[in-house]
């Protein structure tokens, strides 16, 4: 799950402290929640990376604002002591937003009316380093390249889509898409490793285009550490609800000033030379919210989702590469995402195929990980329930075959009636099948008719990074109230098993609301 920043917390004046670790150096110095860390050793801090980099010194001077009043702390410490501060956001200057116009960009397929952060197109290399967010490298300035080298921000995660310059321009929706191969080579010269992905569109960058792209990226190993292929996803809101027709139309979608003007934020202006925010000034970040492009790249190749046989062809193209790279490199290097296997109705590969892979959060190897973890976790299921209990497990349509066997096994526990509810994505359209894009509205509409349950387990991925809100801005508590049932959230099999164990130990009355504290 990619990290999604909250622009309201990015002030341009420093890092806002939200937690002070008990017993830490910061607590001993009386640093407090609400303090704003502005500079270390006289150097303005742009983000948590700068802060960590500066904290490697054993003697530091930290400038702080408290209630807008400046304070200075002279500190002697160990080199690995970060003072014990937690900040509201990792970025303190401003978010680097996306200057591309990808025809398949999910944000151009969102209806109006959601909270503004959901329309935010980040393309910030720092979030790539910190959280594995994928970036295109098209918005990097020379000072960014210098910083990546100076602070060795490795690894980075790069959306390539195609190595052919024209095809990549089409897929990024702009003519000045740059030379991604040259960019990756430059990263390699700096000692930066790269994980790459293709969002694959049938009839566009699959087939020979995909084959050529793999060959070119593989030639850059060991700089390129992995290559993942992910199928394109389209919602019913693309083209105002009309059927997709062409890449040209996709590039032009949502270009009206009305759409853009209702989905913009204001960010602090930042002077890179002085590394300081410009007091009292801000600039609209329209480029971050599905910006318009003057470049109208034309192709009449339809933009659509994969059919089962097409997904199978992608797998058949990539798996021989895996075998080749196992022989040459000792691991597979190239990976179809789990969604390709599920679309093609093929069994996902064994765990050793994904050995050492760092793209689990991109949906590559996640199903295999889940199945293997389930084979361990199922042995910890309770032998019986103290009282009759009803359990409903909710998921999206894509992973129904995976979870069906899990819920059937839970249902064999004496005293537990377990049901798998596969929720159809009516909000975004039936072509959207992943659990991470389920809305609370669809869950409530389709689960409520089943009647109250002693526990409803929802997929953790349908909530935000902190597990507090769904994509349609509903809280777990609100969903629980609407369903008249307690909730649990589960991401991993052991979390599901723990929820079942709590359920079976509970008295006859409904247990208290259970909320998983699993990390994103």
pLDDT tens digits, 444-485: 999 999 999 999 999 999 998 788 889 888 999 999 999 999
**How far apart (Å, rounded) are the C-alpha atoms in residues 441 and 454?**
20
Last residue of a domain, one of 87, 120, 145: 87
**In terms of Cα–Cα distance, which of 311, 338, 303 is closest to 233?**
303
116 in the same domain as 32: no
**How far apart (Å, rounded) are the C-alpha atoms in residues 218 and 515?**
43
343 in the same domain as 411: no
Furthest-apart CA atoms within the chain: distance in Å: 68
189 belongs to a structural domain: yes
325 in the same domain as 179: yes
201 in the same domain as 130: yes
339 in the same domain as 399: no
**How far apart (Å, rounded) are the C-alpha atoms in residues 197 and 358?**
12
384 in the same domain as 310: no
Question: What CATH number is associated with residue 22?
Answer: 2.30.42.10
Query: Residues 85, 31: contact at Cβ < 8 Å?
Result: yes
What's the pLDDT score for residue 4? Answer: 72
**How far apart (Å, rounded) are the C-alpha atoms in residues 410 and 283?**
54
134 SS3 class:
coil
What's the pLDDT score for residue 349? Answer: 94
Strand 15-20 and strand 85-87: pairing?
antiparallel
306 in the same domain as 247: yes
What's the pLDDT score for residue 116? Answer: 64
459 belongs to a structural domain: yes
Half-sphere exposure of 111 (CA within 13 A, CB side): 11
**In terms of Cα–Cα distance, which of 280, 386, 398, 394 is closest to 338?**
398
For the chain (520 residues), the mean pLDDT of every run of 10, in chain order, is 70 90 96 96 95 96 95 95 95 84 78 69 92 94 96 97 90 85 98 97 92 98 97 75 42 37 37 48 34 37 82 98 95 96 94 85 91 95 94 95 94 96 93 91 96 95 87 93 95 95 81 40
188 in the same domain as 335: yes
281 belongs to a structural domain: no
* Domains held by the chain: number: 3
220 in the same domain as 125: yes
Question: What CATH number is associated with residue 118?
Answer: 3.20.20
CA 170 to centroid of chain Cα atoms = 24
413 belongs to a structural domain: yes
216 in the same domain as 303: yes
313 belongs to a structural domain: yes
What's the pLDDT score for residue 10? Answer: 77
Last residue of a domain, one of 32, 57, 87: 87
487 in the same domain as 420: yes
452 belongs to a structural domain: yes
What's the pLDDT score for residue 516? Answer: 40
What's the pLDDT score for residue 13? Answer: 83
Q: What are phi and psi of 336, to 5 degrees?
A: -70, 145
275 belongs to a structural domain: no
52 belongs to a structural domain: yes
82 in the same domain as 20: yes
Question: What CATH number is associated with residue 399?
Answer: 3.40.50
What's the pLDDT score for residue 115? Answer: 65
| % of the chain beyond a pLDDT of 90 | 66
**Those residues with Cβ within 8 angstroms of residue 344's Cβ, 6 or more apart along the chain or in another chain:** 308, 309, 311, 312, 315
What's the pLDDT score for residue 444? Answer: 97
What's the pLDDT score for residue 9? Answer: 73
Query: Residues 182, 87: contact at Cβ < 8 Å?
Result: no
Last residue of a domain, one of 311, 342, 362: 362
Domain containing residue 339: 106-253+299-362
């Amino acid at each position: 799950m990619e990290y999604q920043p909250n622009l309201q917390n990015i002030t341009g004046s420093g890092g806002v402290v939200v937690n002070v670790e008990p017993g830490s150096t910061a607590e001993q110095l009386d640093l407090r929640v609400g303090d704003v860390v502005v500079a270390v050793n006289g150097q303005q801090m742009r983000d948590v990376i700068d802060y960590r980099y500066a904290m490697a010194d054993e003697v530091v001077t930290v400038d702080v604002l408290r209630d807008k009043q400046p304070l200075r702390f002279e500190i002697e410490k160990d080199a690995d002591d970060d003072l014990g501060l937690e900040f509201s956001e990792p970025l303190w200057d401003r978010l680097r937003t996306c200057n591309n116009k990808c025809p398949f960009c999910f944000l151009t397929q969102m209806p109006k009316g959601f909270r503004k952060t959901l329309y935010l197109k980040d393309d910030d290399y720092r979030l790539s380093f910190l959280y594995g967010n994928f970036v295109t490298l098209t918005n990097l300035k020379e000072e960014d390249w210098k910083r990546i080298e100076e602070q060795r921000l490795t690894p980075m995660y790069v959306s390539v889509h195609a190595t052919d310059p024209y095809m990549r321009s089409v897929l990024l929706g702009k003519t000045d898409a740059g030379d991604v191969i040259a960019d990756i080579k430059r990263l390699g010269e700096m000692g930066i490793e790269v994980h790459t992905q293709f969002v694959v569109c049938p009839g566009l960058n699959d087939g020979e285009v995909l084959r050529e792209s793999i060959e070119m990226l593989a030639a850059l190993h060991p700089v390129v550490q992995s290559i993942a292929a992910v199928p394109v996803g389209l919602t019913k809101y693309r083209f105002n609800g009309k059927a997709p027709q062409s890449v040209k139309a996709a590039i032009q979608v949502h270009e009206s000033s009305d759409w853009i003007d209702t989905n913009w934020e204001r960010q602090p202006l930042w002077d890179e030379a002085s590394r300081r925010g410009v007091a009292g000034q801000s600039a609209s970040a329209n480029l971050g919210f599905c910006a318009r492009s003057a470049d109208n790249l034309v192709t009449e190749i339809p933009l659509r989702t994969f059919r089962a046989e097409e997904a199978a062809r992608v797998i058949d193209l990539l798996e021989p590469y895996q075998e080749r790279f196992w022989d040459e490199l000792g691991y597979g290097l190239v990976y179809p995402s789990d969604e390709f296997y599920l679309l093609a109705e093929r069994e996902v590969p064994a765990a050793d195929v994904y050995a050492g892979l760092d793209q689990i959060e991109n949906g590559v190897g996640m199903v295999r990980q889940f199945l293997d973890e389930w084979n361990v976790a199922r042995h910890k299921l309770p032998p019986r329930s103290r009282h009759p209990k009803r359990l409903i497990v909710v998921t999206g349509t894509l992973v129904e075959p995976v979870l069906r066997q899990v819920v059937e096994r839970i249902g064999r526990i004496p005293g537990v009636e377990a049901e798998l509810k596969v929720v159809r994505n009516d909000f975004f359209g039936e072509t959207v099948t992943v659990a991470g894009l389920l809305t609370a509205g669809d869950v409530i509409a389709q689960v409520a008719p089943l009647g109250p349950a002693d526990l409803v387990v929802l997929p953790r991925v349908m909530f935000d990074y902190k597990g507090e809100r769904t994509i349609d801005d509903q809280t777990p508590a609100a969903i629980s109230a609407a369903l008249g049932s307690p909730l649990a959230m589960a991401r991993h099999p052991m979390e599901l098993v723990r929820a079942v164990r709590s359920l079976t130990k509970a008295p006859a009355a409904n247990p208290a609301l259970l909320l998983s504290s699993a990390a994103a």
